[in-house]
Amino acid sequence: MSSPTSETDLESSPEPPQEIPVAEIVDETVPSPHGQPCNECGSPIEQEDHFCPGCGKENPGYSASAETPQKKFQCQNCGSKVTLDRSVRSYTCPFCDSNYVVETELKGGPEPEFIIGFSLSPEEAQKRFRSWIEKDSFFRPSSLKQVRLKEKLTGVYLPFWSFSMLAESDWAARIGEYWYRTETYTSVDSNGKTTTHTRRVRETEWWPLEGKHHRYYNGYLVTASQSISQRESDSIQPYNLPALKRYQPYFLAGWLSEEATLDKKEAVETTKDYFYQQERKNIGLFLPGDTYSQLQVATDFSKINSDLCLLPVYVHTYHFQGKTFRFLINGQTGQIAGQKPYSYAKTGILVTIIAAILFLIYLFFIFYIS
């Protein structure tokens, strides 16, 4: 039996729509099968599937795992709240490198609903860090390559809000339709002879148009952790969201996890701003004609659903010349982003050289003109 995903696409329609068709999006959201083949029919079954999606046979490997005992810590320096294994004895805050952590009996924080597991091992993360710290080193201090991490990298599950919502928009714009007019003009050549030519000139005819647009949006992740900023979290996006699983406490075994501390209301507004920009872009693609101007879009968001997701991140700090720098690694894709020091000496030398060259050019021109 062939794998279900190997099925080829239906014939593509003759005129591809400008807006990304829903089907493509849906295709993307269908995760590639990665479970064990079913004993009966061979369809891939994942551990969370109670029944085979192909033939409906009960999955023998299905198990609702037992709760993992955990304890919660709060960092007295930066305020992050982190859950970790009972077995952990000592703990350094990964966000600020502080040891001022106290165990708390906090029962706050909403329960996470979805989770993506770590696919990048701490050893691989360490390798990523090494190649990142040694990369594009021209403006960096030479000794940066000697930086060593004090301890092994530890992965943290960071909380993110993800919202799904329906956008319904009223839009108005001026639509431009091109048309061509032939025009005659005369020119005089070097002999003083006058000749007449014709040329095609493109004109735009403007029409007012208004209409509606609607679409479901989802998949934008807003950080629910006060320890990392939205900009930092954007820098290690995207995550492959079809890999999301329903949250089970056993996912956290051996890893740290941070509690959601940021307000949902604020996250909704951030998401709405982002989706409004997406909607505007999609309406721009949806408009007919050759061009448009003065697009006005009023969008109403409804049917808002929120999901709290835990996503795998390696957050760590390193020290360089007495300063602390932080970097993040996407625990699923391995994408790395963070702060790196600049070498003032090297940059200063380069700026001096450029300034000197510019000054020489300037001098050269002055002499040349005079």
Q: Where along the sequence are the contacts to another protein (CB under 8 A)?
A: 1-2, 4-5, 7-11, 13, 15, 17-19, 21-23, 26-27, 29-30, 40-41, 43, 46, 49-58, 113-114, 164, 166, 175, 177-179, 181, 203, 205, 207, 209-219, 244-246, 285-289, 303, 305, 307
Shortest distance in whole angstroms from residue 321 CB to another protein: 47
Q: Which of 285, 278, 301, 268 has its CA nearest to residue 168?
A: 301
Bridge partners for 282 per DSSP: none
CA atoms within 13 A on the CB side of 199: 8
Shortest distance in whole angstroms from residue 63 CB to another protein: 12
Please provide the DSSP assignment of 159-204 as one string.
EEEEEEEEEEEEEEEEEEEEEEEEEEEEEE-TTS-EEEEEEEEEEE
Query: Hey, CA dihedral for 204, 206, 212, 218, is it positive or negative?
Result: positive
Nearer to another protein, 53 or 334 (CB): 53
Nearer to another protein, 42 or 122 (CB): 42
Nearer to another protein, 126 or 204 (CB): 204
Nearer to another protein, 126 or 218 (CB): 218
Shortest distance in whole angstroms from residue 213 CB to another protein: 5
Nearer to another protein, 11 or 105 (CB): 11
Nearer to another protein, 4 or 348 (CB): 4
Shortest distance in whole angstroms from residue 244 CB to another protein: 6
Nearest 5°: CA angle at 368, between 365 and 370? Answer: 105
Please provide the DSSP assignment of 247-262 as one string.
--GGGGTTSEEEPP-S
Report how far residue 339's alpha carbon sits from residue 320's, in angstroms, rounded to the nearest whole number: 11
Nearer to another protein, 27 or 103 (CB): 27
Shortest distance in whole angstroms from residue 251 CB to another protein: 14
φ and ψ at 129, to 5 degrees? -60, -45
Shortest distance in whole angstroms from residue 334 CB to another protein: 24
CB contact at 8 A, 156 and 314: yes
Long-range CB contacts (within 8 A, 24+) of 265-268: 267/161, 267/163, 267/222, 267/224, 267/306, 268/161, 268/163, 268/304, 268/306
Shortest distance in whole angstroms from residue 8 CB to another protein: 6
Report how far residue 91's alpha carbon sits from residue 75's, in angstroms, rounded to the nearest whole number: 10
Nearer to another protein, 309 or 329 (CB): 309
Report how far residue 357's alpha carbon sits from residue 155's, in angstroms, rounded to the nearest whole number: 48
Q: Name the residue with tokens 């701003």.
A: 273
φ and ψ at 287, to 5 degrees? -70, 145
Shortest distance in whole angstroms from residue 330 CB to another protein: 21
Report how far residue 154's alpha carbon sits from residue 142's, in angstroms, rounded to the nearest whole number: 27
